[in-house]
C-alpha cells in the first residue's frame, strides 16, 4: 500500500459528510456575523445599563408602526418569535412601564402593544448607542452604497424565505 493510499484511508472518515455548498457557506457567514453583532450590541447595552437587546427590538418595531402600536400577533411575526413568547416579553415591558396593552373595541379578541411616553423616551436614549455600535461594525468595512446593496440582497432572500 502506497503512502498516498494510507493517507486516503486515514481521511476516509471525514469524507462521509456531504460537501459544503456556496449557499451553505453564505448561510454560515450570515449566522456567525449575526451572532457576533448581537453579542457586541448586548455588551454595549449592558455596559450602559440599558435593558437587553430584545427590549430594544420590541420598542423600535412598535415605534415604527402607525399610532405607535401593533397587534400582538403582527408584532410576534415581525420579531420572528412565538406568540406565547411575545406575550411574556410584552408583560415585562408593560411591568417596566415601557408599553401598555390596548384592547380593540371592534374585535375584542385582539390586543395591541402600544408605546408609552416612557417607552418612547427610553428608545430615544437607546437608539444612538445601538446605531453607534452598528456604525463601528458596519462602517469600517462598508460604504453606504454597500450597506444598501447588502440590505437589498438580504431582503430578497427573506422575501423568498417567507413566501414558502
Partner DNA sequence: GAAGATTGAATATTCAATCTTA
Partner DNA sequence: TAAGATTGAATATTCAATCTTC
Residues that bind its own copies (CB under 8 A): 13-14, 16-18, 21-40, 57, 63, 68, 78-81, 120-121, 123-124, 127-128, 130-131, 134-142, 144, 146-151, 153-162, 164
Q: Cβ 159 to its own copies, closest distance in Å? A: 7
Among 7, 28, 29, 73, binds DNA (CB under 7 A): 73
- 16, three cell numbers: 462521509
Q: Quote the cell numbers at residue 29.
A: 457567514
Sign of CA dihedral 81, 43, 153, 63: positive
Per-residue burial over 6-44, b if 16 or more Cβ lie within 10 Å, else e, is eeeeeeeeeeeeeeeeeeeeeeeeeeeeeeeeeeebbeb
Residue whose C-alpha is closest to residue 48's, from 134, 131, 125, 139? 125
Instruction: Choose the one of its own copies, DNA, none that binds residue 88, judging by a C-beta under 5 to 8 angstroms depending on kind.
Output: DNA
List the single partner that 160 binds among its own copies, DNA, none, CB under 5 to 8 Å by kind: its own copies
Binds DNA (CB under 7 A): choice among 32, 34, 83, 151 = 83
Q: Least distance in Å: CB of 83 to DNA? A: 4
Q: Which of 68, 64, 66, 37 lies closest to 131 in space, CA to CA?
A: 37
Burial (Cβ within 10 Å: 0-12, 13-18, ≥19) of residue 112: buried
Residues 75, 62: contact at Cβ < 8 Å? yes
The site for DNA, by CB under 7 A, has a size of 28
Indicate which single residue of 81, 96, 134, 147 sits in contact with DNA (rule: CB under 7 A).
Answer: 81
One symbol per residue from 32 to 61: x for binding DNA (CB under 7 A), - otherwise; what is it?
----------x---x-----x-x-------
Site for DNA, rule CB under 7 A: 42, 46, 52, 54, 71-74, 81-92, 101, 106-112
Amino acid at each position: 500500500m502506497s503512502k498516498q493510499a494510507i493517507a486516503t484511508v486515514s481521511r476516509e472518515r471525514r469524507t462521509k459528510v456531504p460537501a459544503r455548498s456556496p449557499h451553505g457557506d453564505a448561510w454560515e457567514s450570515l449566522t456567525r456575523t449575526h451572532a457576533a453583532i448581537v453579542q457586541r450590541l448586548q455588551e454595549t447595552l449592558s455596559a450602559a445599563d440599558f435593558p437587553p437587546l430584545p427590549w430594544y427590538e420590541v420598542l423600535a418595531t412598535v415605534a415604527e408602526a402607525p399610532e405607535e402600536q401593533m397587534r400582538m400577533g403582527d408584532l410576534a411575526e415581525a420579531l420572528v418569535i412565538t406568540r406565547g413568547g411575545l406575550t411574556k416579553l410584552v408583560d415585562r415591558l408593560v411591568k417596566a412601564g415601557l408599553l401598555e396593552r390596548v384592547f380593540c373595541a371592534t374585535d375584542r379578541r385582539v390586543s395591541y402593544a402600544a408605546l408609552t411616553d416612557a417607552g418612547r423616551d427610553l428608545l430615544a436614549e437607546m437608539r444612538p448607542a445601538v446605531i453607534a455600535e452598528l456604525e463601528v461594525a458596519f462602517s469600517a468595512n462598508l460604504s453606504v452604497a454597500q450597506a444598501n446593496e447588502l440590505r437589498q440582497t438580504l431582503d430578497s432572500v427573506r422575501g423568498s424565505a417567507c413566501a414558502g
